[in-house]
Amino acid sequence: MQPVSYVSYSTHPTKAVEIPFSKDGRKRCRAVDDFQVYGTHKVPVGKTEMKIGYDERNIYIDVCCHEPSGVFLNSNKGKSNDVWNGNDMLEIFFGSCAPEPWQFQFAVNAAGQRFDSRGSTDDWTANMEFKEGAWSINLAFPFDLFPNSGLSIGFNLCRYAMHRKEITDWGGIDVSFHEFENFGELLFCTYEQALFAKTGRPVNRKLTRSQYERELAQASIPANVLTHGPLCSHVTEDSAVVSFGTAGNCGAYIYYRIKGMKGTRWNKMPLALRNGLVGQTEAFHRAVLKRLRPGTDYEYMPVTLAPVSDKLLKCVVGEFRTMDAGKKEFSFVFMSDIHSTASLLNAIVKSDAVAKCDFIVNAGDPLSRGNGYDTVYRGLFDPLAATGKNIVFVRGNHEQVGAYAQITCDMIAKPTGKTYFTFRQGDVLFIALDVGDDHSDTVINKNAAVIAEERRWLRRLKEQPVFREAKRRIVLMHIPPYDIEHSYAGQASAKVLGELADCDINCVLCGHIHKYFVIESGTGVRNFKLTGEKLADSAKLPFPVIANSNDTYLDVKVSDGSITSTAIDVNGKIVDIVRL
Ligand SMILES: [Fe+2]
């Protein structure tokens, strides 16, 4: 269970002030004067006071700029469309970077000139007045201007006192006026309600402003903190994928190098790099390492970038070993159809078989429906990442269920983007296949064209040296070639496997039915070994098919002379052994 937390993009605790509602917003206002000098965050020489309130139509911000020098610069009119012409002035910003980025910039100078980043100054008002030792400006911004940001709005106000060359702001920006990561917030609710909204944790007591700011800071997790993974997947002889998740959106690098070579510098790979720019708008990060050496141990380290400061945060070091064509013995664990059953997944990942294996095959349906990143992290990614093993993902039909299914597919994808692929370990060529959903095409599911493409790929693959010269071949897929009279999915599986009917395939490993069975070579008979039931309903193929259940996993050991698949249940009991 993850602690309740608030993802913070700020470089310091976020300021916030509860502002009151009244029928006429200016009748009840909150006074705020904790401005600071831009860059240094020191107390300014010139005091600035704001009184903020709201009614059904507007946010009201009345600003009083005390000027100890008594000198106001307001005579330079300059160009009519340029408020940055040397006069005293205010810049007012609204916006935030999460959950969706948005920002508006308004400005008004002491000569009365105005700027609006939306291109229109007609729908907000700014009334100015000069007094002894101060100038004031009363602002009113209609709610209609802003996107709905709930019960709070990101806000900052910056002041230029030009005679003294002092620039101050309320939110606490570090490097840029447009830095919405460090804006403060105006709360249209109580501090207790705001803390509940930010952290998901109900609050059963009254809070003051300072208590709210302190408790929010305590519940904050910086956006660039590693919260998921790293997970290593789809390792081949010369490549690997490393994925990880951060608390919020941030930039990231992956550092990697051959393990054990003292003094070797890290290779530093920026992620989400496009057109010379490292992307900082994603919380899921994925690195594809290429040009690696076969049979070699590598170590890697995710490195994340702090928002605003761009400071580097070095995270945990992981390792993997690239596949090795010369390997004589190895093992892998084959799991399928977990369907969010945490007890089953926990039993498998803590098994001796996983501890000793070279890699894990997750052959589909880890979740019944992937409803976004969090479900994939909890139900699949985090438990498998904890094993520290290389994970081979083979897509199942449930990875096509729901509006956010594409996120699941992207998180587990092979770098080719295809759900059918090959890799080698020892003298075995592994062929991962996919027939997509378990029903024919709909307006969402479009597998017929992919299956046709996959069959053409298989025909080409059979002609290539990597296939022809492999001594042994194991097929990994989700749906078996079962019930070919009635099942669309079984027919689709049989059709794809039919492309290999003239090949020497050692076995096909699959899942999907939630019952353990074996189809002996050339029989087309499903032998449910645990119940003794037999069904002569499957495709007759010249190689055996083993279907894993939803309460078993396969511990597959490959040696020079044999391949042995041991089916084990969640209690660790061996339920079947097949020697291939
Ligand atoms: Fe399935």
Task: Chunk the chain into consecutive blocks of 10 residues (it has 580) and report each block's average pLDDT, rounded to whole numbers.
Answer: 78 94 91 94 96 96 94 76 87 94 95 92 93 94 92 97 95 94 97 95 95 96 97 98 98 96 89 97 97 97 96 96 96 97 93 97 95 94 97 97 94 93 98 95 94 98 97 98 96 98 97 98 96 96 98 96 95 95
Span from the CA of 313 to the centroid of ligand 1 (angstroms): 40
Span from the CA of 547 to the centroid of ligand 1 (angstroms): 11
Span from the CA of 125 to the centroid of ligand 1 (angstroms): 61
Span from the CA of 334 to the centroid of ligand 1 (angstroms): 15
Span from the CA of 512 to the centroid of ligand 1 (angstroms): 4
Q: Given strand 125-131, what is the order of strands in its sheet?
A: 30-32, 48-54, 58-66, 134-142, 125-131
Span from the CA of 397 to the centroid of ligand 1 (angstroms): 5
pTM value? Answer: 0.94
Span from the CA of 198 to the centroid of ligand 1 (angstroms): 38
d(CA 517, CA 513): 9
Span from the CA of 470 to the centroid of ligand 1 (angstroms): 29
Span from the CA of 179 to the centroid of ligand 1 (angstroms): 47
Span from the CA of 511 to the centroid of ligand 1 (angstroms): 7
Q: Where in the chain is the domain with CATH 3.60.21.10?
A: 323-579
Span from the CA of 546 to the centroid of ligand 1 (angstroms): 15
Beta-carbon count within 10 A of 41 CB:
12
Q: Given strand 545-547, what is the order of strands in its sheet?
A: 421-425, 428-432, 472-476, 507-510, 545-547, 517-519, 526-528, 533-535
User: Is the CB of residue 548 less than 8 Å from the CB of residue 334?
Assistant: yes
Span from the CA of 382 to the centroid of ligand 1 (angstroms): 21
d(CA 57, CA 480): 63
Burial of 263 (0-12, 13-18, 19+ CB in 10 A): exposed
Span from the CA of 485 to the centroid of ligand 1 (angstroms): 18
Span from the CA of 409 to the centroid of ligand 1 (angstroms): 15
Whether omega before 68 lies within 30 degrees of 0, making that bond cis, reads no
Span from the CA of 354 to the centroid of ligand 1 (angstroms): 23
**What is the architecture, at CATH level 2, of domain 233-322?**
Sandwich (2.60)
Span from the CA of 549 to the centroid of ligand 1 (angstroms): 10
Q: Which CATH class is domain 6-220?
A: mainly beta
Q: What is the reported pLDDT for 27?
A: 87
Q: Where in the chain is the domain with CATH 2.60.40.10?
A: 233-322
Whether omega before 99 lies within 30 degrees of 0, making that bond cis, reads yes
Span from the CA of 572 to the centroid of ligand 1 (angstroms): 23
Span from the CA of 517 to the centroid of ligand 1 (angstroms): 15
Pairing, β 390-393 against β 421-425? unpaired
Span from the CA of 520 to the centroid of ligand 1 (angstroms): 21
List of residues 6+ apart from 89 with CB closer than 8 A? 83, 107, 108, 109, 110, 159, 160, 162
Span from the CA of 393 to the centroid of ligand 1 (angstroms): 14
Name the CATH superfamily housing domain 323-579.
Metallo-dependent phosphatases (3.60.21.10)
Span from the CA of 383 to the centroid of ligand 1 (angstroms): 20
Span from the CA of 482 to the centroid of ligand 1 (angstroms): 12
Report, in angstroms and rounded to the nearest whole number, the Rg of the chain calculated over CA atoms: 31
d(CA 435, CA 439): 10
Q: What is the reported pLDDT for 260?
A: 86
Span from the CA of 396 to the centroid of ligand 1 (angstroms): 6
Span from the CA of 580 to the centroid of ligand 1 (angstroms): 25
Span from the CA of 339 to the centroid of ligand 1 (angstroms): 9
Q: Where in the chain is the domain with CATH 2.60.40.1190?
A: 6-220
Span from the CA of 236 to the centroid of ligand 1 (angstroms): 26
Span from the CA of 373 to the centroid of ligand 1 (angstroms): 20
